[in-house]
A and B are shown apart, each in its own frame.
Chain A
Amino acid sequence: MTNHPILRLEEVLKVYDQKVAVDRITLSVPKGSIFGMLGPNGAGKTSLIRIITTITQADSGSVFLDGERLNSRHPEYIGYMPEERGLYKKMKIGDHLLYLGRLKGLSKAQAESEIRLWFEKFEISDWWNKKVEELSKGMQQKIQFVATVLHRPKLLILDEPFSGLDPINTNLIKDEIHHLQKEGTSIIFSTHRMEQVEEICEHIVLINQGKNILEGEVKAIRNQFKEHQFRIDFEGKLPEDLSSKARIVKENGRSVVVQLLEGAASNQLLGYLIDQGVRINAFNELLPSLNEIFIRQVEQSNAGLAAASGH
């Protein structure tokens, strides 16, 4: 694997009428990663994706795909499943996949063999001649996914891929995403559902009002925003002067959440509690969820923007 990222954006700007949809965004998607693109509705995620997929063009800034400046051949290396997606209802699913595959530059034979592989995987080998409109909604979503990855894209972009999917199909697609990642596909996963990001993604970018307000590895970000809070499950009685060692955030019978005082270490607190004869059943650091970080950052950035525009 080479070092350069699969996708790099530099100072990308896109303005519609008077609205700045993408405000000088710079970011890198590491090769082979699952990259979460987060942001509230209307933050500019879809506008950004449309620039990457060459549907629209940036007003300024540059986009590099696998080290190359974005050009008209690149759609063949990208698989894009938009949030607004669908299929031709009257077409047979085999013919439909063949058509979409060939539009992505596959030869007829290549496309056919790929389709057969996926049909076997989903155990629908005899479905070639079924019409799209005869399929259940979940099945249509699976076909849509197959259509997106049929040409083995280097970069896969999924915009809210699980919306409208039941839990079984959600898991099935999740497994396929991990499987594709193992085969070397880089994946951009755009959503506003945090719990999915936490589960799937290694890297994230947080976009609000067209700006990149936070970018990095999920673990690092959570560590960066940690507040040194610990949950202690215990038996016995907590020492009276615990509050001199740590601030009690929440108390609930045999469980307590405390925040370490400035400069204190978790080991010291644990040692102190053991010395005091408290039986410790569990001692966990509480990292903030992405959801909390997300909300905090968005509020902060909105406040900043409001203040900036107020002056």
Chain B
Amino acid sequence: MNKLWLIIQREYLTRVTRKSFILATLITPFAFALFFVVVAVIFGYESDDSRRVAVIDKSAILQGALKDEKNLFFKFVDYDLDFLRKHLDSLQYDAILEVPPMEDLMANNYTLFYYAEDAPTLDIELMIKDRIRDAVREYKIRKLNLERKQLEALETRVELDPEPLKEGGADNSTITSAIGAGIGMIMGFIMYIVVFVYGAMVMRSVMEEKTTRIVEVMISSVRPFHLMLGKIIGVGAVGLTQVAVWAILIPSLMFIVQAVFGIDTGQFSAMEPGAEIDPDDMEQMMALGLREIQNINWWLIFPLFIIYFLGGYFMYSSFFAAVGASMSDDLGEGQSLTLPIVIPVILALYIMMAAVQAPNSSLAVWSSIFPLFSPIVMPARLAFNPPAWEILVSVVLLIATSVSFVWLSGRIYRVGILMYGKKVTLKEFGKWMFRKM
């Protein structure tokens, strides 16, 4: 035990004190922050190209109501179109907007004409269309003698509020599933990245011990199983350290960026033109979302997430260790041996994405019980309150599988690390598992 602890310490300390690790851990959040600043500056950059637009509105559809925008000035004129087109420059206009009379009030299409040297830019086009749509609506209401109140009554916001069947059951709202999906996706992705980044780190490090020939020196002092386990735990701790540093630094840097630059880092998702959300609605949704986040059973989800995280990490990284131990000095030839890990992890990621949309489909249920997929799929389902028995079976299976994977990998490992210059196949893995030492 004492020796295992020494190994864990060395594996951990040599990595976290390495310059490259410190740099990667600290620079990544700053790179994130810088990225946001740059993106915000780019998006916030406003066109300094100002335009004066002459509007010809003979039938007074717009009734002179077209507000100026930044860098875009509208002026209603009485000139003829032909006259204007000839003297545009001398009258100091950049473009002409011709608003033709509306022949059929029941028509759904209405075309305006824009005369200029070059076609309107996208933001000008969208802005003008937006303004005209509102004005045309007003115009039609007026001309058709419609009742405004009735018209407004046509707009109905429909909501679906899920209520529990049994009394005292969890009262959810639709936003629960959105938030559940979000949390599930984040958890699934973290698992996916951890498996690949730190599992591969375990593999490389085992290979390095083999190629530098330190391994036989080591196992004359410690049991190979302890060496492997110490490495897996040590590297896992390195991973947790990095994730923890990021979990603190990234949000706080975002906060600083927002405070210093006055940039709303949340604005980018709502940047699509036309998708304007009423600020009141937004506030309501935020409040509801917050309440739902509080409603989620964190006391259950968080420990479970840790269990799935550890289970998945041990299961996959021990296999990576076994592969690393069986590789010869040539890195390339072992790549095919990693396929048995890579394929289930990638499959699990896709299943996870499907599972957040249909968390109770049989695919989601069975995948979240199957131990090779469960570390990625089950965390994604946790926010949707899956039945307790499913969680229980899944956790028990995962723990049993992880323990046996670590054990079996240990058996492959102790044979593999002493084997030089031999190409290893999966078939031999099987033999090694049951070979006595």
Contact = CB atoms under 8 A, between A and B. Distances in A.
12 contacts: A53-B220, A54-B220, A76-B221, A80-B220, A82-B213, A86-B214, A86-B217, A88-B209, A99-B10, A100-B217, A103-B218, A147-B217
Interface string A80-97: 111011111111000000
A53 B224 CA distance: 13
Contacts of B3: 103
Contact of A82 (B14, B209, B217, B222): B217
Interface residues of B, number: 21
Nearest to A57: B437
Contact of A85 (B213, B219, B436, B437): B213
Given A59-B436, A99-B10, 6 more contacts: A50-B418, A55-B437, A82-B217, A82-B220, A85-B216, A87-B217
A118 to B, nearest CB: 16
B216 A82 contact: yes
Interface of B: 3, 6-7, 10, 14, 18, 209, 212-214, 216-222, 418, 420, 436-437
**What 6 pairs between A and B have smallest CB-CB spacing?**
A86-B213, A86-B212, A82-B216, A80-B220, A103-B221, A84-B213
Contacts of A54: 220
B365 to A, nearest CB: 44
Interface of A: 50, 53-57, 59, 75-76, 78, 80-82, 84-91, 99-100, 102-104, 144, 147-148
Contacts of B220: 53-55, 75, 78, 80, 82
Contact of A90 (B7, B18, B213): B18
Contacts of A90: 14, 18
Given A57-B436, A57-B437, A102-B6, A87 B221 contact: no
A90 B436 CA distance: 34
Contacts of B14: 88, 90-91
A55 B418 CA distance: 10
B434 to A, nearest CB: 12
Contact of A89 (B18, B212, B437): B212
A152 to B, nearest CB: 14
A147 B213 CA distance: 14
A100 B221 contact: yes
Nearest to B211: A86
A176 B213 CA distance: 23
Contacts of A59: 436
Contacts of A82: 213, 216-217, 220
B217 A75 contact: no
A100 B222 CA distance: 10
